[in-house]
């Protein structure tokens, strides 16, 4: 009896081992590294200071370097892809109309530093027709840090610059469609489109120097959440250097906008209970990368 059980156990282990080896052989792991430029435009405006009078809170255009580390894991028609991405810090004049009083800038030589980070995870299915469907989750964070030196024509008192820190977080699911178009044995082009359904959180902290040394930090007028639909378009050209090593060039365009009336969270009774706010963001990336198939 024991010998029969032992034989059956050995058979089961052998079957599991064969299937495990077959499964492992069908897995394709592809890490990658990509670097390039990120052309970033973001704008936010509203009547938060004065009802029915729109003012631009910031309007930023900047080109930054970007680095992405990612990997994909494929088994038969199914695949998983993940990446982390970080931009360098860029500087721009933010065109902040809320700092203008009677056409005169309250501060001198405004400058904003911008950084952007992004994380993404998706799963997809590849159809025999070269079309694949994917769904995933993305998190993005944009930090805009303004330095505001005093305009001594308006404020003769010597003191350190004020600072204005804006944080924009965006996270949520996305889905999309990709089509791979083979060119020849070593080259291919893939085209993709996606829709992201993201929750945007805008927060702002303002640090103001008082007198010669004291300072105060408080949240300014916009601290709110809203929902946006992000449209993405992408294209990737891939060239095989060897059977395992590939080089690719990728272009990616993303855009969203919104215009809505939001509830005012302030407790100040003499200010409007609601305000209109509008924003749009357009960014384009072009990256060069290497990937290796294991």
Question: Is 53 part of a structural domain of the chain?
Answer: yes
261-282 tens-digit pLDDT: 776 554 444 444 567 888 999 9
Q: Among 171, 111, 165, which residue's Cα sits nearest to residue 143? A: 165
209-254 tens-digit pLDDT: 665 555 555 545 567 788 999 999 999 999 999 999 999 999 999 9
Query: At a CB cut-off of 8 Å and minimum separation 6, what does 145 contact?
Result: 112, 113, 114, 163, 164, 165, 166
Which residue ranges in the chain fall short of pLDDT 70?
Answer: 1-25, 48-52, 98-108, 151-159, 209-222, 263-274
Question: Is 23 part of a structural domain of the chain?
Answer: no
Question: Is 3 part of a structural domain of the chain?
Answer: no
List the domain range (segments joined by +) for residue 70: 29-292
Q: pTM of the prediction?
A: 0.81
- Domains of the chain: total: 1
Question: Is 272 part of a structural domain of the chain?
Answer: yes
pLDDT value at position 165?
A: 85
- DSSP 3-state assignment of 114? strand
Question: Is 172 part of a structural domain of the chain?
Answer: yes
Q: Among 171, 158, 271, which residue's Cα sits nearest to residue 225? A: 171
Question: Is 72 part of a structural domain of the chain?
Answer: yes
Question: Is 170 part of a structural domain of the chain?
Answer: yes
pLDDT value at position 272?
A: 47
CATH of the domain at 75: 2.40.128.90
Quick one: CA dihedral 203, 206, 207, 210, positive or negative?
A: negative
- DSSP 3-state assignment of 214? strand
Question: Is 239 part of a structural domain of the chain?
Answer: yes
């Amino acid at each position: 009896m024991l010998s029969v059980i032992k034989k059956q156990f050995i058979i089961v282990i052998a079957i599991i081992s064969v299937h495990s080896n077959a499964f492992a052989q069908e897995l394709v792991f592809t890490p990658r590294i990509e670097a390039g430029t990120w052309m970033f435009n973001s704008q936010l405006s509203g009547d938060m200071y004065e009802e029915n009078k729109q003012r631009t809170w910031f309007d930023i255009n900047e080109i930054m370097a970007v680095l992405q580390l990612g990997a994909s894991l494929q088994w038969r028609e199914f695949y998983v892809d993940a990446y982390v991405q970080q931009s360098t810090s860029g500087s721009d004049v933010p065109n902040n109309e809320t700092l203008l009083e009677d056409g005169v800038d309250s501060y001198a030589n405004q400058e904003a530093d911008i950084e952007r980070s992004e994380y993404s995870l998706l799963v997809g299915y590849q159809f025999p027709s070269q079309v694949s469907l994917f769904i995933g989750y993305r998190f993005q964070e944009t930090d805009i840090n303004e330095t505001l030196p005093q305009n001594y024509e308006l404020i003769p008192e010597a003191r350190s610059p004020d600072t204005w820190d804006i944080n924009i977080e965006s996270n949520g699911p996305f889905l999309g469609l990709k089509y791979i178009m083979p060119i020849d044995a070593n080259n291919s082009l893939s085209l993709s489109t996606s829709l992201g359904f993201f929750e945007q959180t805008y927060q702002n902290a303002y640090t103001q120097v008082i007198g010669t040394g004291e300072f105060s930090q408080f949240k300014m007028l916009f601290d709110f959440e809203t929902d946006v639909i992000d449209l993405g378009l992408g294209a990737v050209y891939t060239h095989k250097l060897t059977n395992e090593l590939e080089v690719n060039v990728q272009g990616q365009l993303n855009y969203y906008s919104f215009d809505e009336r939001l509830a005012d969270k302030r407790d100040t009774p003499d200010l409007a209970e609601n305000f209109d706010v509008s924003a749009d963001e357009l960014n384009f990336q072009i990256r060069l990368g290497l990937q290796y198939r294991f």
